Amino acid sequence: MGGVYVHIPFCVRKCAYCDFVSYPAPDIESLAPAYLDAVLGELRLRHDELCCIAPIDTVYIGGGTPTCVPARLLGAFLEELLQTVRAASGATHTVGPADGIEVTVEANPGTVDRVGLAALRAAGANRLSLGFQSLADKELVALGRIHSAQDCLCAYGDARAAGFGNISVDLILGTPGQTRASLNSTANAVIDLGPEHVSAYCLSLEPGTPLADAVRAGVVSVPDDDDAADLYDLFVARMAASGYARYEISNFARTGFESRHNMGYWRNGEYLGLGTAAHSHVRVHSTASIPAAGGGVRSWNTPLVTEYIDAVTRGGLPVAGSEMRTAHEEARDALMVGLRVSVGVDLGALSQEYRVDLVGEYVERFRRLALCGLVEVVDSGPDRGPGADADSHSVPAPCLGPRIHLAPGAFLLANKVFIECV
């Protein structure tokens, strides 16, 4: 199974904390058609890669703000994209709920209405990711969001009315002015709405962003590391008490609604990235006479919209760079991203998959970290890690070797674990 990611780089206004490849586009209606045509053109140019990773299990339209593109354009684009995916996957019926493909569209509450959401649903989208970030208006202003808390509530209601039965809500923890009381209020409101999935990311002050500059200048203050950790723990507890299992460091879901697309990333799976700055990962596959060595190719596109459009229009790939990854590098990648997930990783299974000895290389390092309370090491059996019972898409087979997962209190220290071990 593989995934397809499409990057829509346009926004109404760039948020104060954002360092993603995104551009305010006041002339979006004139620029979007050429860009979307170029994305479909890139997909055609990369048909062999698409077929290589097929069948496609997930499609994700992210940004930027995909929903700042007029709904009629975005809907028509999505329909054509899914038709191509269906053909490459050998499907004989419409891509969408009928064949189990997860089709996600990111949406900003300030750029959607019921009519536009219904058009996306009709075009094949079956999962919506709503970027609330907060339900406290003062925090939204500090983040530079274009919407209010009330806009979030209206967008959620419109999404349900449009037929979306799988909605994810994005939040940011540790925002300027956030307190335990304001976070608890946001959490309560989200829980009352009842989305199937919630993502809650700790604020990262990226160099060069307006928010980072304001904090450095002392104009804006954010919770310190200890307070931010307390906010994270509070949110985790609220989610757990309300039936949401933390299946990944920053992601919570009701049973069966884990993000299949993101699980593909955390399993070091294959995916094709289309659009500006999009990344792709394609494994080296076996042939009839040559078995796969477990390596892969990672590539990334130019971040510039005009350069991207021009390259595809000329019939060339918009790839800015690529690298071959050895089996050992791929195995380390799989280990690192796999540790983000509550079920952790099976060193024996990874060793077998990539044909490298991860057990011999890493198990003693993990045992030392276990003594520090950072990870847990399970030598055998079907252990699934903390919170894993809610993740129907990540149930591991019985261990082939030691299973490693982050200790329940160590999720915010994941980067330390990665550095120490990988």
Instruction: Kindly list the averaged pLDDT for each block of 10 residues, start to end, along the chain of length 422.
Output: 95 93 84 96 95 93 96 96 88 51 97 96 97 97 97 98 98 96 97 98 94 94 93 96 96 97 95 97 62 76 97 97 93 92 93 91 91 87 46 50 87 76 65
Same domain, 49 and 152: yes
SS3 234: helix
Residue 213 lies inside a defined structural domain of this protein: yes
Check: CB of residue 33 under 8 Å from CB of residue 300. no
Instruction: Report the C-alpha dihedral over residues 410, 413, 415, 418, rounded to 10 degrees.
Output: -40
Check: CB of residue 267 under 8 Å from CB of residue 334. yes
Which of 229, 244, 264 is at the close of a domain? 264
Same domain, 114 and 192: yes
Same domain, 239 and 368: no
pLDDT at 88: 84
Which of 213, 235, 264 is at the close of a domain? 264
Residue 319 lies inside a defined structural domain of this protein: no
Spatial separation of the C-alpha atoms in residues 28 and 26, rounded to whole Å: 6
Residue 224 lies inside a defined structural domain of this protein: yes
Q: Which domain holds residue 180?
A: 2-264
SS3 165: coil
- Of how many residues is the chain composed? 422
Residue 354 lies inside a defined structural domain of this protein: yes
Which of 264, 279, 314 is at the close of a domain? 264
pLDDT at 96: 47
Q: What spatial distance separates the first Cα and last Cα of the chain, rounded to whole Å?
A: 26
Q: Which of 302, 311, 296, 313 is nearest to 273 (CA)?
A: 302
Please count the structural domains in the chain.
2
Same domain, 97 and 218: yes
Residue 276 lies inside a defined structural domain of this protein: no
Spatial separation of the C-alpha atoms in residues 263 and 255, rounded to whole Å: 14
Same domain, 26 and 171: yes
Check: CB of residue 67 under 8 Å from CB of residue 114. no
Spatial separation of the C-alpha atoms in residues 370 and 417, rounded to whole Å: 10
Residue 69 lies inside a defined structural domain of this protein: yes
CATH number, domain of 42, equals 3.20.20.70
Residue 215 lies inside a defined structural domain of this protein: yes
Spatial separation of the C-alpha atoms in residues 87 and 357, rounded to whole Å: 38
pLDDT at 45: 96
Same domain, 250 and 336: no
Spatial separation of the C-alpha atoms in residues 302 and 317, rounded to whole Å: 10
Spatial separation of the C-alpha atoms in residues 126 and 160, rounded to whole Å: 11
Long-range contact list for 122-125, CB < 8 A, 24+ apart? 122/75, 123/74, 123/75, 123/76, 123/78, 123/79, 123/82, 124/78, 124/79, 124/82, 124/94, 124/95, 124/96, 125/61, 125/78, 125/164
CATH number, domain of 338, equals 1.10.10
